[in-house]
Amino acid sequence: MQLDFKARELTIKLVYYGPALSGKTTNLHAVHRLVNSDAAGRLMTLETRDDRTLFFDLLPLSIGATKGINVRLKLFTVPGQVIHASTRRLVLQGCDGIAFIADSRRSETKANQLAFLDMQDNLTENGFEADTHPLVIQFNKRDLPAIRTDEEIDRLAAHGKEPVFKAVAIRGVGVKETLLGLIDLTVQHLEERHGLKEKVGVTSADFITAVNNRLFREAP
């Protein structure tokens, strides 16, 4: 997290990680569509014509004033293609929480595993504890054939400690749940490990309330 005491501003950095073409950029597009328009900044993407991120995408979200402090979220994606290894490491710098976007198709199982190991390496390279860094997992592309079954994913979820979400990002399904799960886990970690409450007087519960109200408030 970045704290600017002068501006009374707190910025939390969240990163969408995963193998090439798993749907990271698609998740950001869906978040941009789903959140209240007054909370969303401009979505910056840089892609080739075949949907491949060249550097990273960035979506800034504004939660607004919460107990006198202005809270911002910055959502990044990494480029999944193997050749962009150094960019992925760079994007992970100072990251507070990660959503790992896996491709549900059986054919992509190996690619998911390699990207997961790559993420753990890059976390370590950036001085994080890979095992305790806030992480949620999304199994995307649930609409496609030849995917891992719901039962398989539920079993994986029961064995691991990370929250697991199923999604069809292209239709916005599961996107909000993934983001809220990630924010929840991240602010709890910031509270427990980085003294969020002592530093800015905002608890993780205050945070979640503000996020729900500001990002996903229904029109009256």
Ligand X SMILES: Nc1nc2c(ncn2[C@@H]2O[C@H](COP(=O)(O)OP(=O)(O)OP(=O)(O)O)[C@@H](O)[C@H]2O)c(=O)[nH]1
Per CB under 6 A, the list member of 9, 11, 36, 52 interacting with ligand X is: 52
Q: Does 140 bind ligand X (CB under 6 A)?
A: yes
- The rounded distance, in Å, linking the Cα atoms of 211 and 215 is 6
Burial of 90 (0-12, 13-18, 19+ CB in 10 A): middle
Per CB under 6 A, the list member of 11, 36, 62, 81 interacting with ligand X is: 81
Handedness of CA 1, 130, 58, 24 (dihedral sign): negative
Number of residues that bind Mg ion (CB under 5 A): 3
Per CB under 6 A, the list member of 125, 143, 152, 192 interacting with ligand X is: 143
- The rounded distance, in Å, linking the Cα atoms of 137 and 63 is 23
- Amino acid, res. 24: K
Total Cβ atoms within 10 A of residue 165: 24
Number of residues that bind ligand X (CB under 6 A): 22
Q: Does 53 bind Mg ion (CB under 5 A)?
A: yes
Q: Does 147 bind ligand X (CB under 6 A)?
A: no
Q: How far is CA 30 from CA 53, 54, 177, in A?
A: 16, 19, 12
Which residue is listed with tokens 């993407």?
Answer: 45
Burial of 68 (0-12, 13-18, 19+ CB in 10 A): exposed
| Residue 21 interacts with, from Mg ion, ligand X, none (CB under 5-8 Å by kind) | ligand X
- The rounded distance, in Å, linking the Cα atoms of 154 and 181 is 16
CB of 161 vs ligand X, minimal distance in Å: 24
Instruction: Decide whether 24 or 88 has the Cβ nearer to Mg ion.
Output: 24
Instruction: Decide whether 24 or 141 has the Cβ nearer to Mg ion.
Output: 24
Instruction: Decide whether 4 or 51 has the Cβ nearer to Mg ion.
Output: 51
| Residue 204 interacts with, from Mg ion, ligand X, none (CB under 5-8 Å by kind) | none
Per CB under 5 A, the list member of 12, 17, 25, 189 interacting with Mg ion is: 25
Q: Does 23 bind ligand X (CB under 6 A)?
A: yes
Contact footprint for ligand X (CB under 6 A): 18, 20-26, 51-53, 77, 79-81, 140-141, 143-144, 168-170
Contact footprint for Mg ion (CB under 5 A): 24-25, 53
